[in-house]
């Protein structure tokens, strides 16, 4: 048995394992605690049909320290219209924050896959989630949100629940322009992903050189 190359193989396996586990999924921004007693609900949908219309809403988020790798965004909605479980897509909004309101046009943002799942919460809560994202956000301030493409109808639309705590500026909402329709409130939202950890760039040649 060649012990030199056995040790090389073992070292290579260890380095590959380290690289594969360098980043772990985590909650990057958590405003998922819902303000059930708040006297408002936040319009955030593009809904066709009677009683429908278009409103895009975003919250301000701060990335501090290391960059974020965002893989999913979840927002929390009411459940009056149970047909929203058929939602398949919606708008993804991610803007650099330069003031109290965004300046971008959210109606031209990318459409991404989304799911609407009704939970067991007795207050009537559903999760709207855009997953499978691959966003890298350097440190800084951002406006972030997702807006479902849905239907209205006899059960109306489902508004987004407010968060229990306001952080920074309140939620911003776009109909034909950006407004602060809900002063004192953010939308309930959670951002998940990971914070990549740098690893050494080790090549097979460098590993072999350790044993020469």
Which tokens hold the place of 140? Answer: 């800084």
DSSP structural state of residue 69: E
Cα 203 from Cα 75, distance rounded (Å): 42
| Predicted pLDDT at 154 | 86
Helix, strand and coil in the chain, % to nearest 5 = 15, 40, 45
Is residue 83 predicted with pLDDT exceeding 80?
yes
Quote the pLDDT of residue 132: 97
Nearest to 94 by CA among 118, 60, 117, 48: 60
User: Considering the chain, what is the average pLDDT of its residues?
Assistant: 87
* Number of residues that make up the chain: 212
pTM of the model: 0.83
Please tell me the predicted confidence (pLDDT) of residue 199: 54
Whether the CA torsion 199, 201, 207, 210 is positive or negative: it is: negative
Are 173 and 155 spatial neighbours (Cβ–Cβ below 8 Å)?
no
Helix (H), strand (E), coil (C) string for 167-202: CCCCCEEECCCEECCCCCCCECEEEEEECCCCCCCC
Residue pair 76/127 in contact (Cβ under 8 Å)? The answer is yes
Domain coordinates of the chain in residue numbers? 25-196
Please give the structure tokens belonging to residue 4.
Answer: 């030199």
Residue-wise pLDDT tens digits, 9-61: 343 333 333 333 345 689 999 999 999 999 999 999 999 988 899 999 999 99
Contact 118, 79 (CB under 8 A): yes
By the 8 A CB rule, do 71 and 27 touch? no
Question: Are 35 and 125 a contacting pair, CB within 8 Å?
Answer: no
């Amino acid at each position: 048995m060649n012990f030199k190359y056995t040790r090389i193989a073992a070292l290579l396996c260890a380095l590959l394992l380290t690289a594969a586990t360098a980043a772990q999924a985590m909650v990057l921004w958590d405003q998922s605690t819902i303000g059930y007693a708040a006297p408002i609900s936040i319009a955030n949908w593009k809904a066709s049909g009677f009683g429908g219309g278009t409103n895009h809403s975003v919250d301000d988020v701060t990335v501090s320290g290391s960059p974020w790798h965002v893989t999913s965004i979840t927002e929390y909605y009411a459940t009056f219209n149970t047909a929203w479980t058929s939602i398949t897509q919606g708008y993804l909004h991610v803007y650099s924050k330069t003031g109290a309101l965004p300046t971008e046009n959210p109606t031209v943002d990318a459409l991404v896959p989304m799911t609407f799942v009704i939970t067991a919460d007795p207050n009537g809560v559903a999760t709207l989630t855009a997953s499978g994202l691959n966003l890298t956000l350097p440190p800084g301030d951002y406006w972030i949100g997702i807006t479902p493409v849905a239907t209205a109808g006899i059960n109306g639309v489902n508004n987004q629940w407010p968060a229990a705590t306001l952080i920074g500026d309140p939620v911003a909402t776009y109909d034909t322009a950006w407004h602060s329709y809900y002063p004192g409130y953010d939308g309930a939202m959670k951002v998940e992903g990971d914070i990549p950890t740098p690893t050494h760039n080790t090549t097979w040649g460098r590993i072999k050189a350790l044993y020469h």
